[in-house]
């Protein structure tokens, strides 16, 4: 069955709203990379930014915010689904203060990874520093609404973690250090160990409802297809297999931590299957193109290469699965968020 782009987007939004009636989540707290960064990189000295047009051209009247998309990202839609704000503000954005962060805050930084070496590639915020910002936020929140109320907000918040793609594509497969130190499987275990420690520290800081994001079919990103031009610009299945294997390790981690730590409610939000389905059957979701991106030539460009001066950018992003060579369009983000809400996050609606 085929859907018109706008109709599908509105349907996904309406479904999330209907489900949200019974939601019991106080706040959305976000950690990760460019898949969920709502603007933190705007305020650090890095070249990896998106606070210029055409980024954000479909966001609130055409406002570039630092989100790597034409509009909202998945965490914005999830926040909306839980009857909170329609967008999750970036912690480092001076336009916001602690009153804006009571119901949602984002600590994510585009280009980061589990591995500290990954964040060093483009001089972005490492995951450990995101956690330090969260600790600072906790203190500010307690000072603003009081110790008891802050504890309740933090206990009832939904913590979303989306990170890992850069560890492979921008680190392991791009530079020799980690690939000479680890086999790809051992590197997966290395990253899973960091994920475990990160979740455990969040839990010790009061987090109870935690979603750990899986890797997407990263071999099908337009950038990777473009690099595979000698083989017909097909998906790089080696990368997809690595993503699936790592997701299995995260699944085992989630099961283990739920057994070992009383009170934790850890889920795996795995977007791999829904994104694969969209990429393989784009017309079924109202898309025309799942191979190249909307911005510029759609093959290599992201960040500063995806700019308003490029004459090749598409006129209708709703027809595309990908916005730039690495990131989905707003419409894709809405579908991915809907899938997460209906599956991994559904238990948080009722208790």
For the annotated catalytic residues, the residue numbers are 34, 324, 327
| Helix, strand, or coil (residue 35) | coil
Unique residue bearing structure tokens 């956690």:
131
The candidate with the shortest Cα–Cα distance to 131, out of 207, 75, 188, is: 207
Facing residues of 266 across strands? 210
By residue count, the chain amounts to 351
Query: Helices in the chain by DSSP H: which ranges?
Result: 5-19, 74-81, 116-121, 127-145, 147-156, 165-167, 176-181, 184-204, 222-227, 237-260, 272-280, 330-342
The rounded distance, in Å, linking the Cα atoms of 231 and 228 is 6
Residue 170 tokens, joined? 């921008």
Contact 214, 250 (CB under 8 A): yes
The candidate with the shortest Cα–Cα distance to 103, out of 133, 130, 83, 73, is: 83
Rg (CA), the chain: 19
DSSP at 296: T
The candidate with the shortest Cα–Cα distance to 217, out of 344, 336, 124, is: 336
Q: In what order do the strands lie in the sheet with 28-32?
A: 104-106, 28-32, 158-162, 209-213, 265-269
The rounded distance, in Å, linking the Cα atoms of 295 and 307 is 8
CA dihedral over 273, 262, 79, 308, signed as positive or negative:
negative
């Amino acid at each position: 069955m085929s859907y018109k782009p706008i109709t599908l987007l509105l349907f996904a939004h309406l479904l999330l709203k209907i489900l949200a009636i019974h939601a019991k989540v106080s706040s959305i707290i976000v950690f990760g990379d460019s898949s969920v960064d709502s603007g933190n990189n705007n305020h650090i000295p890095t070249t990896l930014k998106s606070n210029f047009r055409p980024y954000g051209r479909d966001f609130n009247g055409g406002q570039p915010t630092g989100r790597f998309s034409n509009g909202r990202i998945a965490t914005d839609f999830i926040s909306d689904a839980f009857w909170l704000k329609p967008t999750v503000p970036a912690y480092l954005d001076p336009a916001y203060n602690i009153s804006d962060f009571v119901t949602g805050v984002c600590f994510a930084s585009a280009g980061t990874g589990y591995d500290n070496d990954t964040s060093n590639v483009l001089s972005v915020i490492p995951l450990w520093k995101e956690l330090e910002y969260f600790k600072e936020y906790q203190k500010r929140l307690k000072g603003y609404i009081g110790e008891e109320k802050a504890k309740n907000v933090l206990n009832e918040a939904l913590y979303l973690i989306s990170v890992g793609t850069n560890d492979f594509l921008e680190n392991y497969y791009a530079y020799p250090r980690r690939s000479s130190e680890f086999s790809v499987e051992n590197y997966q275990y290395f990253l899973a160990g960091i994920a475990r420690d990160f979740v455990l520290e969040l839990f010790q800081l009061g987090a109870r409802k935690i979603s750990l994001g899986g890797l997407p079919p990263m071999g099908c990103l337009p950038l990777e297809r473009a690099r595979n031009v000698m083989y017909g610009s097909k998906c790089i299945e080696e990368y997809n297999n690595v993503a699936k294997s790592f997701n299995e390790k995260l699944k085992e981690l989630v099961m283990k931590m739920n057994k070992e730590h009383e009170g934790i409610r850890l889920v795996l939000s795995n977007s791999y299957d829904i994104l694969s389905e969209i990429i393989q059957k784009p017309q079924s979701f109202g898309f025309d193109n799942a191979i190249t991106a909307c911005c510029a030539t759609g093959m290599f460009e992201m960040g500063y290469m995806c700019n308003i001066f490029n004459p090749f950018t598409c006129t209708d992003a709703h027809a595309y699965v990908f916005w730039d060579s690495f990131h989905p369009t707003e419409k894709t983000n809405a579908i991915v968020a809907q899938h997460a809400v209906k599956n991994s996050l559904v238990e948080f609606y009722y208790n």
